[in-house]
Structure 1
Amino acid sequence: MDVDIPHPADQDVELLPADAASPPLAKRKRIDGPVTNGTADVLASPVDQQASVFSAHQPPQWQQTIEKAINAIVSIRFSQVAAFDTEEPTTSEATGFVVDAKKGLILTNRHVACAGPFLGEAIFHDHEEVDVFPVYRDPVHDFGILKFDPAKIRYMSLTEIPLAPSLAHVGLDIRVVGNDAGEKLSILAGSISRLDRNAPEYSDMTYNDMNTFYLQSAASTSGGSSGSPVLAIDGSAVALQAGGSTRAATDFFLPLDRVARALKYVQQDKPVPRGTIQTQWTHKPYDEVRRLGLSESTEATVRQTFPGEVGMLVAETVLPKGPASAFLEEGDVLLAMNGEYVTKFVPLEEILDSSVGKAVTFWIQRGGEDLRFDIVVQDLHSITPDRYLECGGAKLNDISYQLARQFCIPVEGVYVAEPAGMFRLDGPDHGWIISSVDSKPTPNLAAFIKVFETIPDCERIPVKFFSILDVHTKSVTVVPAERHWTAFRLAVRNDITGLWDFTDLGPSPPPRELKPITATFATLDQSLGAAANLFQSMCKVSMYLPARIEGFPKSRKAGAGLVIDAERGFVAVGRNIVPFGMGDIELTFADSIIIPAQPVFFHPSHNFAIVRYDPALVGDTPVKTAPLSDKKIKQGHRVNLVALNHNLRPVSASTQVTDITAVTIPYSSTPRFRAINFDAVTIDTPLGQQCSAGALADAKGKVLGLWLSFLGERTAAGHDSEYHLGIGIESVTSVLKTLQQGSVPRLRGLAVEVTPLQMSQCRNMGLKEEWVARVEEANKESRVLFLVRRTECGSATAKVLKELDLILSVSGKVITRVHEFDDERDEEVEVVILRNKVEMTLRVPTVEFDTEDVKRVIFWAGSVLHEPHRATRLQSQQMPSSIYVSARAKGSPAYMYNLMPTQWIVAVNGKPVQTLNDFVQCVRGLPDGSYVRVKVVSFDLVPGVISIKLGLHYWPTCEVVREPSESSGWKRINIE
């Protein structure tokens, strides 16, 4: 059964609590650097206080204007719930204003109305809240129109702000009234200083306006003010706040000429005609146009026709394969269209918008030569994507005119809006365009769907692609077709409902039956001796993790594994590569054969797992069982490091064991698996730090230890630390024997994390000399005891042992080696400890460790919930509940309303919940769009209450449970 995980692992999923920062869209609307907050006059919320606030901060002539306007201005809180075109999933806030109170229409920016799926609400000045959805977002210009139900505003009179684009002029005194820097409502004063600024370029790979003038002012707006009305003193809007610069107190306003036209069509429930010839124009002053070849006579004619003009329109970008590509060139100076002189953007667009599907005569001048062309105008909406495909964990759409224009490429190809899952391609960077799948061309999304729906699940297929940032370099990669974890469905925009309607594109053809393949290993330099044969016992291991659980920070990992039983197909691999059971594991033998594997064992404290493959699938390939030594690795031993480096190429080096000691891997603020209670082997070669994994072998080629990468802490810069260390092979052999007998290993011990303490420190803690003598007698090589660093919250052990207890002996044996804590057989042991300088003898219960941990995951409102995994229990003093927030997806309700990772949920709508079953019973049947009151407790045990508005259309509630009988080992269950 397909699982259909609703939140792909490579998607923008947050594992760490987010800082309360400026809204993400605020950064996009500013240019030349990060957003800076402007100075704003904040309006008091109570309506009866408005007059005093206005009189204190505004000239008297503006007081009445603003008092009337504020009832039409709204704060917009919204999410784009999925990556689409140039935009990533995001949550932010902005401003809008009512332009039609009867029909419930709000004007705001395009980057607020979102190119992709939108969820949001508008909050009016009296704090009434209504749902809003886009009914129009312009394909090019930075404006969109949202709709709400006017009947739901019950406590205030709705007003609207009229649009008056013709009133804008240089020197006009204005007020920008909106949600500045996240404040409820602020008033910023300024005056228009320019009417003919070319549209600002914010950055590559994001939305940029074009083919329009922008107005310029110095109002010092900042994040959250996007969509604010620019008011004249008569109360009408003369422009729409859109962007700004951080190098100066400069703001950019969108003129309202084309906005007013579009609004009339929307008010009549008609589509808004928009035409294009796929050409970007820019306005250049006469001195620059003359350098492009404008003749003196033409300039004289234009100046005479338009006495106030200072420049003309010049073709800046002409897209290949577009309507104008066979006629226009960059640098062409536009003279006239259909016999009428054109020097501004408004008449240019008036003619194009009224001529969709018709030919328009362009008169241009190129190097002083007059040329005339008849160019057929294309429907701009036809090259503006209105659908996306969910496939293999990624989101794909037809490339847009927006992106094609920025990089001057044809408007064709399938764009990877969210590079996740099987279409992560060459890393997480954005900008990939897929040109073919399985050697079949994919010029558009329809062709892509037709190709992909015939590909069996798990089939390995070639994908050709290139980066929009480097169109010269073509790339190809082979990926496994993934249809069992994630959906294969099409989302199409519906401007009537405001939702994107999903269509399931059907099940995939079943996976092909795997057949045995035989290969040979490459011949290596025999100077490596017996160690060279170990490469026939090594394989590459890769894992795809479809959901972020247990705090693990990656969605893909790759490294090396060691075949420890070729007859049964057992492979030992580090838990930094295979951290848990949810996911797809693949093994590559001899760089030739790729076969699946299943996890069979995870060590709860040591950094290794064991996976199993079908030995029949490697045919007669000479895969060998690695010879495992029955001797323990010692300090000073000469060993051979036999490993795969970071490029997964075989390397080997003769070296020496420099130290074997108990180490403590630093823990991360987001709890995730880390090795504890183990002796780390270090070696005398820098090559070890460059290897993903391998083995430490003696001169006869017998394996003394595993060389592994260990996941450590997350740094302040957001990077995950990794350590490269060895562990003795005896940890693996003890488990292997049980697996070879067909049984599941059962490990029992004290549920604690310990750290070594030298005798000098132990003495200072009150250790008596007789114990020092016993330690020296018990271990001639190392004189340490172990301090309880952490106890596992909720365990039987934690009820007796406490943090900072110094363990002296267990069952009468002095414990001086960390491996002596492993595999206790008895359910209760006698432990002698030193606590607060007092020696105590305790009967301490042991626990049977769960070697799999998380077996059930709930996806709710964009959050990932499961029972606290062992790393959480080790880092916590208490468990407020068994409902732990592991991650949340950007753009989801969980992200929008601040349900943080590492929190616990303890109540839903006032009802206490302790287990996942309790939670499911509380959220089952809750209607879409309703608010859910959730009580949470932070990782630092600080309680709080948040309200989360459900968006079940995009974020349905479901659970995924471990079911070994299923093909993937996991089964999805929908929760209605």
Structure 2
Amino acid sequence: MKIMELELDPEGAQVGVEIKLLGNHAREKYSFLSALISRVDRNAPEYGGYSDFNTNYIQAAAAASGGSSGSPVVNAAGKVVALQAGRRKGGWINYFLPLYRPLRALQCIQNDRPVTRGTIQTQWTIEPFDECRRLGLTSEWEEHVRKMAPKETGMLVAKIVLPEGPADGKLQAGDILLKVNGELLTQFVRLDDILDSNVDQKIRISIQRHGKDLDVYCIVGDLHAITPDRFVSVAGGTFHDLSYQQARLYAIACNGVYVCEAVGSFKIDDDTTSGWIVDSVDKRLTRNLQEFIEVMKTIPDRSKIVIAYRPIQYLHMTVTRVIDLDRHWHPMMSLAVRNDETGVWNFSGIANPIPAKPPAPQKAEFTQLGGNSQTATAEIVRSFVRVSCTLPLKLDGFPKTKTTGCGLVIDADKGLVFVSRAIVPHDLCDINITVAESIIVTGKVVFMHPLQNYAILRYDPGLVLAPVRSAQLSTEYIKQGQGTIFVGFDSNLRLAITKTTVTQITTGIIPVNASAPRYRPINIESIMVDTELSTICTSGVLLGEDGIVQAFWLNILGADDCEYNLGLATPSFLPVISKFQQGVIPTLRILNMERCVLEMSDARPRGVSNKWINEVAKADPSRQQLFIVGNLGRPLSFAHEDDDLRVGDVILTLNEKLITGVSDLDIMYDNEVLDAVIVRNEQEMHVKVHTVPTKDIETDRAVVFCGAVLQKPHLAVRQQISKLPSEIYVSARSRGSPAHQYELSPANFITAVNLVPTDDLDSFVQEVKKIPDNTYFSLRCVTFDNIPWIMTMKKNDHYFAMSEYVKDTSSSPASWKVITDEASMAQGNITADAMDVERDDC
């Protein structure tokens, strides 16, 4: 195909000239809009954090909308006089970029000359003569300018002069530019030309300040030198020297280390992702990127270090934080350098991780509750620990990367901690357990209950020289109306204690998160208490007067990131906890279904006989309920093929035990097959119900490909979907990746690669390895609502090499390892940090 070039004619942009705008108006291909140029001296509009400045814009009422940015603006002769740059929202006005400097850059490239760019780190704006008079422009100078440039309506005025720049202390905001090197200047085009031609040279600038003529001399700086051409990735974060754009936006000196992507160790919270200047790391100054690199090279993995930083929009406030340096999930410190010959960024490894220092035992004492005479609450404090969880990869639809809460020590001798799954959602994580607000030890996940919203962690008790106490758990179910002591921790982990009463015990149903399924407990009985603390405390216990824990108080993450706080009675957890206390890791089996409460008034129309209704009334007079199958999870690959139960079945007994409460379902834990009596279609019948093992339910593998996190459909997906299209589920994607660019969204399934069926991760990995780098391929996908569709994507191994995260179950507790694609490594590709994956529900 022969490509035609368009001639650039910057002089053709004049007021009154008729133009045609060629582009994709409203994102529709090939639109042609007409207009007349109305202004050529408009200041560049402020679009936000990254905007043009020190240039005039051209204005016309072209009515172009999104989709035409960068399109050529041509005159009647077919010459390009400007480029479409922006529009005023809600109006017909469009703004165009003049072509003087783009044409000069093009000519330099065509002639193999460097494109020099000069700057004195000063932002100028075009101000009308009346504003210049108010700033002190004398009538003599105004008359002279109008005479020498009769078409001009204003002059250039300094708006921002950056500290420590070439013009600092010489120019001030409000200075009116008269001449540069003796030449009268009223337009950006000549000012740019002089600066670009005098890099590292001294120039004379004539200004008028409050009616006084002044001459100042400045050394023109190199704009390329203050435009970052490299960045470093370490411990999940991405850093570069502060750019001129950011410095100009906030009128600050153009130096310092800027955090452009705060992920991993540098993710302070879920709301802060960028925008700091790092002043020091580990008590050592980091005034520029090279100093920062040298400091980071010396810090071992898992070190706790202090960083001092300032938010760029609030520089007079210095913030210090203690962070855990992660060099195991993010082992390589890599440097990316822009290659102007190839147009890509070249990555190189600059430092391998230093192994973590072995932990040493530490001593501490628990704080005493002031003014509290209750022995029960005073003792329970020694059973609480703080649990901090860092999640390096978005798995199982969980939206956060850092969580913190309180856990309860259930066995101090073995170092066992009970904690909510809203704090530890899966075991691909780093866990720190803080004892007595002083000692920090590493924790590992040893068990995760698939239904009841808790995990059990283990730490090395030999490292803790503190009087930690094992909490005593009640074997009796707490009852409605019973008095109790509420001991809870709010979101800031501050302790709150009050006496209260149990107001309600009900079968809880947590709403599903429809857009991105995530873990939620099912088949639980929730406890509510009569205190406002229950709404603000996310973890804690309900305590008897004798100091025995009657219920755990846990937070649960529900739909739309809404958190629910509720109590769960301790006896329902004892079958599992008791085995751990005996030194046995339980291997449970569960019924792969979600039940709903069936009141007796609804039981009769469904075919439940009076005999069973009377049996229920005798067995459980306080509740008088049965359970109905509300939903069946999709079978796991190892599950029984037939659905033993069906939605709508009323469960009467399991192994001859009448089922009226959630605790009655504990019989499923140790039985592969249950004899059930049910009512189906108003007919009472006996069926064999198969349970499924829990050991393989949790996610044990993830593949990161082109920025998409792919995994086997986790339990929440299987609970919410009616049919699994494949076992390749998109859990998350990285911003800026091919998956994001080509809109491979989370909660989709991949069924084929280049028309080759791929039912599982093994077949998918096998097929995508055949695809050459930088080539297009197709993916057949199915939405969560079972709608098939097809897409194309371009493979990019340079920036988004494939990697896998695999759980090693041979160790106890299980650990994860990272496997990088061998083909990519063989090509020498050290890429950007593949762990920088953010969930995107758009």
Residue 763 of structure 1 and its aligned partner are, at CA, apart by 2.1
Distance 1:292 1:938 in 2: 62
Deviation at 1:343, TM superposition (A): 0.9
Counterparts of 1:963 and 1:811, CA distance in 2: 36
Task: Work out the CA distance in 1 between the residues paired with 2:526 and 2:14.
Answer: 74
Q: Which shifted more, 594-603 or 416-425?
A: 416-425
Q: State the identity %.
A: 44
Aligned to 1:775: 616
Letter of the aligned partner of 1:342 in structure 2?
L
Alpha-carbon deviation of 1:690? Answer: 0.8
User: Match of 1:555?
Assistant: 401
Note the C-alpha offset of 1:529.
3.6
Code of the residue aligned with 1:320 in structure 2: it is P
Correspondent of 2:59 among 195, 213, 216 = 216
2:209 corresponds to 1:366: yes
Residue 915 of structure 1 corresponds to 760
Q: 1:549 to 1:798 in 2, by over 3 A?
A: farther
For the pair 1:748 / 2:592, whether they are aligned, the reply is no
2:148 pairs with 1:305:
yes
Contact kept? 2:269, 2:402, Cα under 8 Å:
no
1:919 CA drift (Å): 1.2
* CA displacement at 1:838 relative to structure 2: 2.5
Contact persistence 1:963–1:971 (CA under 8 A): yes
Please state how far the C-alpha of 1:247 moved relative to its aligned partner: 3.4
Q: Call closer, same or farther: CA 1:769–1:852 in 2, change over 3 Å.
A: closer
Q: Give TM-score, length-normalised by structure 2.
A: 0.95
> How far 1:528 sits from its partner (Å)?
4.0
CA-atom RMSD, angstroms? 1.5
Whole-angstrom distance in 1 between the partners of 2:475 and 2:268: 43
What letter matches 2:481 in structure 1?
G
The residue number in structure 2 matching 1:656 is 501
Please name the residue that 1:543 is paired with.
389
- AA aligned opposite 1:653: T
Deviation string 1:750-780 (CA, Å, 9 cap, x unpaired) is: 2111111211122232322222111112211
1:963 match: 808
Tell me the residue number matched to 2:685. Answer: 840
Query: Which aligned pairs between 1:239-258 and structure 2 lie closer than 5 A?
Result: 239-258=82-101
Quote the residue 1:483 is aligned against: 327
Are 1:876 and 2:721 counterparts? yes
Equivalent in the alignment of 1:618: 464
Provide, for residues 2-34 of structure 1, a one-character-per-residue CA deviation record: whole Å limited to 9, x for no partner: xxxxxxxxxxxxxxxxxxxxxxxxxxxxxxxxx
1:181 Cα deviation from its structure 2 partner:
2.3
Partner of 1:594: 440
Q: Size of the alignment, in residue pairs?
A: 813
1:492 is paired with a residue whose SS is strand
TM-score normalised per structure 1: 0.82
Pair 1:893-2:752 in alignment: no
Secondary structure in 1 matching 2:280: strand
Other-structure match for 2:451: 605
Q: What's the offset of the Cα at 1:852?
A: 5.7
Partner of 2:571: 730
Seen in structure 2, the aligned counterparts of structure 1 residues 852 and 389 have a Cα distance that, compared at 3 Å, is farther
Judge conservation of contact 2:160–2:173 (CA < 8 Å) in 1.
Answer: yes
Would the aligned equivalents of 1:537 and 1:624 in 2 still touch at CA under 8 Å? yes
The corresponding residue for 2:835 is none
Equivalent of 2:249 in 406, 409, 413? 406
Look up the equivalent residue of 1:388 and give its one-letter code.
F
* CA offsets 1:253-272 (integer angstroms, 9 cap, x no match): 00111111011112223321
How far is 1:732 from its partner? 3.0
| 2:831 equivalent in structure 1 | none
Q: Report if aligned partners of 1:535, 1:650 keep a CA contact under 8 Å in 2.
A: no
Give the Cα separation in 2 of the matches to 1:261 and 1:278: 21
8 Å contact 2:587–2:693 — kept in the other structure?
yes
Q: Secondary structure at the match of 2:147?
A: helix
2:684 aligned with 1:819: no
After TM superposition, give the deviation of residue 823 of structure 1 in Å: 4.1
Q: Structure 2: which amino acid aligns with 1:192?
A: I
Q: Which amino acid aligns with 2:654?
A: V
Structure 1: which amino acid aligns with 2:727? S
Q: Which residue is 2:228 aligned to?
A: 385
The reply on whether 1:675 has 2:521 as its aligned counterpart is yes
Distance 1:300 1:369 in 2: 16
Give, in whole Å, the separation in 2 of the partners of 1:460 and 1:163.
57
Match of residue 547 from structure 2? 701
Partner of 2:170: 327
Preserved CA contact (<8 Å) 1:564 1:626 = yes
Residue 826 of structure 2 corresponds to: none
Where does residue 289 of structure 2 map in the other structure?
445
CA distance in 1, matches of 2:483, 2:390: 37
Change (3 A) 1:369 1:959: same
Opposite residue 650 of structure 2, the aligned amino acid is L
Give CA deviations for 1:869-893 in whole Å, capped at 9, x if unaligned.
Answer: 1111111212222111111112111
The CA distance in 2 between the partners of 1:269 and 1:581, in whole Å, is 55
Q: Secondary structure of 2:604's partner?
A: helix
**Residue number in structure 1 paired with 2:315:** 471
CA distance in 2, matches of 1:847, 1:510: 41
Kept after mapping to 2: 8 A contact 1:791/1:798: no
Match of residue 765, structure 1, among 602, 606, 622: 606
User: CA shift at 1:631, angstroms?
Assistant: 2.0
Unaligned runs of 5+ in 2: 824-842
Structure 1 residue identity aligned to 2:525: D
Q: Distance in 2 between matches of 1:682 and 1:264?
A: 75
Tell me the secondary structure at the aligned position of residue 224 of structure 2.
Answer: helix
2:340 to 491, 495, 498: 495
- Residues 130-169 of structure 1 aligned to structure 2 (within 5 Å): 156-169=1-14
Query: Structure 1 residues 197, 734: CA separation in 2 closer, same or farther (over 3 Å shift)?
Result: same
Query: Does residue 646 of the first structure (1) align with residue 491 of the second (2)?
Result: yes
State the alpha-carbon separation in 2 of the partners of residues 352 and 325 from structure 1. 16
2:531 alignment partner, one of 682, 685, 698 = 685
In 1, Cα distance between equivalents of 2:316 and 2:366: 36
1:427 deviates by 4.7
Residue type matched to 1:230 in 2?
V
Contact 2:596 2:627 in 1 (8 A): yes
- In the alignment, residue 816 of structure 1 is paired with which amino acid? T
Task: Tell me the amino acid that sits aligned with residue 917 of structure 1.
Answer: D
1:262-281 aligned within 5 A: 262-281=105-124
Q: By how many angstroms is 1:297 displaced?
A: 1.4
Return the offset for 1:947: 1.4
Contact between 1:788 and 1:805, CA under 8 Å: does it hold in 2?
yes
Identify the residue that residue 45 of structure 1 maps to in structure 2: none
The 3-state SS of whatever aligns with 1:844 is strand
- Equivalents in 1 of 2:671, 2:168: separation in Å? 81
CA distance in 1, matches of 2:603, 2:693: 30
CA distance in 2, matches of 1:360, 1:968: 67
Whether the aligned pair in 1 keeps the contact of 2:710 and 2:730 (CA below 8 Å) is yes
CA contact (8 A) 2:697 2:714 kept: no
The correspondence for 1:810, drawn from 654, 662, 675, is 654
- What is the letter of the counterpart of residue 283 of structure 2? S
In 1: Cα distance, 2:618 partner to 2:203 partner: 99
Larger relative contact order (CA 8 Å, sep ≥ 6): 1
Indicate the SS of the match to 1:822. Answer: helix
Contact residue 419 and residue 428 of structure 1 kept, 8 A: no
1:799 to 622, 636, 643: 643
Contact kept in structure 2, 1:420 and 1:428, CA below 8 Å: no
Equivalent-residue separation in structure 2 for 1:414 and 1:692 (angstroms): 37
Secondary structure of 2:247 counterpart: helix
| Separation in structure 1 between the aligned mates of residue 487 and residue 225 of structure 2, nearest angstrom | 58
Aligned equivalents of 1:632 and 1:839: distance in 2? 31
Tell me what 1:973 maps to.
819
- Tell me, what secondary structure is at the counterpart of 1:527? coil
